[in-house]
Amino acid sequence: MTDRLRLVTWNINSLRLRLGLLGRVVEEARPDVVCLQETKVDDANFPMEAVRALGFEHVLYRGDKGYNGVAILSKRPIEPAGHRFWGGVEDARHISARLADGMVVHNFYVPAGGDIPDPALNVKFAHKLRFLDDLTDWGATVAGDTTPRVMVGDLNIAPLETDVWSHKQLLKVVSHTPVEVDKLARVQAAGAWTDVVRQVITPDIKLYSWWSYRARDWAAADRGRRLDHIWTDGGLAPRVRGASVLKDARGWTQPSDHVPVMVDIDPA
């Protein structure tokens, strides 16, 4: 019998620059597992000693020099559960880990997709759409699996009207366009995923996990989007006891533009 698992996902926007803020998240939230995106560090320079000093003895990471990069930090033993490339581009946007009870955690950093929401004019948007199609194909292969599955990360899509500050004003803005929202729904359906954050914080409530650096006053404008997600398979979803978004982290000194999102999962 193990204790309840506390899982955090956070686009940290440079791990090395924000080791101190990671320490603050760890101190305040006491997570057992932390999934990071945009670590922006290649594997040779991963700050393993600093991460270990925060209490994470079990760490998996894959990075690119200066861009992308994902990591799974764990206080409990984990083993690698595979990784691959998505959408035909070889960058570090996926890593997965298996815990001792068999639960597999997949950590994703979906491409932001650039500014123009047209795959014919914007190769970054085309890559984002192909990435989502690959996630759908993959989901179909794991949907029947009885292994407890968790999928987290910066999916760079805000699917619900209450996931954005203005549904109408963002319909043509990459992250909330109908083509992306439709494709994310296909990913979710194919993999039989449950959005467990919205299971706890119901869709009638506005909820954001990202606020642009470009606002004069991010809190006053509050023009946020919910880009960071935690999904589980249907069997695991009833074991999710709580979900929260650590909005305060956006107001810390030299913050990431994303804030941590967290759930607690009961043992089987």
List contacts with DNA (CB under 7 A): 13-14, 16-17, 40, 64-67, 111-114, 124, 156, 213-214, 254
For residue 266, the minimal CB distance to DNA (Å) is 33
* Residue with smaller CB distance to DNA, 203 or 252: 252
* Closer Cβ to DNA, 78 or 164, answer by number: 164
In the structure encoding, which two tokens stand for residue 181, read together? 């929202």
CB of 156 to DNA, least distance (A): 7
Strands (DSSP E) found in 140-204: 149-154, 193-195
Instruction: Quote the CA–CA distance of 257 and 247 in Å, as a whole number.
Output: 11
Residue 25: enclosing H or E segment and its boundaries?
A: helix 19-29
SS3 content of the chain, % helix, strand, coil (to 5): 30, 25, 45
Cβ distance to DNA smaller for residue 40 or 239: 40
Q: Which helix (H) or strand (E) holds 71?
A: strand 70-74
* Minimum CB distance to DNA, residue 250 (Å): 11
Q: What is the nearest approach in angstroms of DNA to the Cβ of residue 127? A: 8
Q: What is the DSSP letter of 3?
A: P
Positive or negative torsion for Cα 201, 36, 104, 65: positive
Nearer to DNA, 45 or 141 (CB): 45
Nearer to DNA, 120 or 213 (CB): 213
